[in-house]
Amino acid sequence: MSMIAAFYSGKSILITGATGFMGKVLMEKLLRTSPDLKVVYILVRPKAGQTLQQRVFQILNSKLFEKVKEFCPNVHEKIRAVSADLNQNDFAISKEDLQELLSCTNIVFHCAATVRFDDNLRHAVQLNVTATQQLLLMASQMPKLEAFIHISTAFANCNLKHIDEVIYPCSVEPKKIIDSMEWLDDAIIDEITPKLIGDRPNTYTYTKALGEMVVQQESENLNIAIVRPSIVGATWQEPFPGWVDNLNGPSGLIIAAGKGFLRSIRATPMAVADLIPVDTVVNLTLAVGWYTAVHRPKSTLIYHCTSGNLNPCNWGKMGLQVLATFEKVPFERAFRRPYADFTTNNFTTHYWNAVSHRAPAIIYDFYLRLTGRKPRMTKLMNRLLRTISMLEYFINRSWEWSTYNTEMLMSELSPEDQRVFNFDVRQLNWLEYIENYVLGVKKYLLKEDMAGIPEARQHLRRLRNIHYLFNTALFLIVWRLLIARSQMARNVWFFIVSFCYKFLSYFRASSTLKA
Ligand SMILES: CCCCCCCCCCCCCCCCCCCCCCCCCCCCCC(=O)SCCNC(=O)CCNC(=O)[C@H](O)C(C)(C)COP(=O)(O)OP(=O)(O)OC[C@H]1O[C@@H](n2cnc3c(N)ncnc32)[C@H](O)[C@@H]1OP(=O)(O)O
Ligand SMILES: NC(=O)C1=CN([C@@H]2O[C@H](COP(=O)(O)OP(=O)(O)OC[C@H]3O[C@@H](n4cnc5c(N)ncnc54)[C@H](OP(=O)(O)O)[C@@H]3O)[C@@H](O)[C@H]2O)C=CC1
Domain boundary assignment for the chain: 3-243+278-312+399-412, 455-514
Q: What is the mean pLDDT of the chain?
A: 94
Residue 447 identity: K
The string of pLDDT tens digits covering residues 66-91 is 999 888 888 999 999 999 999 999 99
Which pLDDT belongs to residue 166?
Answer: 98
Q: How far is the CA of 127 from the centre of ligand 2 (A)?
A: 10
Instruction: For residue 482, name the pLDDT band (cuts at 50, 70, 90).
Output: confident
Mutate to test the pocket of ligand 2, among 45, 58, 163, 401 (most ligand atoms within 8 A of CB): 45
Which CA distances in Å does 175 have to 133, 180, 207, 210? Answer: 9, 9, 12, 9
> What is the per-residue pLDDT for 296?
96
- Determine which helix (DSSP H) or strand (DSSP E) holds 266, and give its type and residue range: strand 264-266
Choose the weakest-confidence range: 152-166, 210-224, 281-295, 495-509. Answer: 495-509
Instruction: State the average pLDDT over residues 182-203.
Output: 96
**Ligand 1, from 116, 119, 244, 325: best to mutate by most atoms within 8 Å of Cβ?**
116
Per-position b or e across 436-449, b if 16+ CB within 10 A of its CB: bbbbbbbbbbbebe
**pLDDT one-digit tens code per residue, 207-246:** 999 999 999 998 888 999 999 999 999 999 999 999 999 9
Is the per-residue pLDDT at 494 higher than 90?
Answer: no
Q: What is the mean pLDDT of residues 456-464?
A: 93
For atom 21 of ligand 2, which residue has the closest CA? 17
Domain 3-243+278-312+399-412 has CATH 3.10.310.30: no
- Tell me the C-alpha distance between 340 and 231, whole Å: 21
| Whether the CB of 248 sits within 6 Å of ligand 2 | yes
* Whole-structure pTM value: 0.92
Q: What does the pLDDT average to over 411-432? A: 98
Q: Is the pLDDT of residue 197 over 80?
A: yes
Amino acid 515: pLDDT? 64
Q: Which residues pair with 81 in a beta bridge?
A: 42
**Is there an atom of ligand 2 within 6 Å of 255 CB?**
no
- Mean pLDDT, range 412-440, rounded to an integer: 98
Please provide residue 337's backbone torsions phi and psi, each rounded to the nearest 5 degrees.
-65, 135
Distance CA 208, CA 460 (A): 43
Would you say 4 and 290 are in contact if contact means Cβ atoms under 8 Å apart? Answer: yes
Alpha helices (H) along 45-120: 52-60, 68-71, 75-78, 95-104
What residue ranges in 335-458 does DSSP mark as E strands?
341-343, 400-401
269 C-alpha to ligand 1 centroid (Å): 18
Dihedral sign from CA coordinates of 462, 467, 468, 470: positive
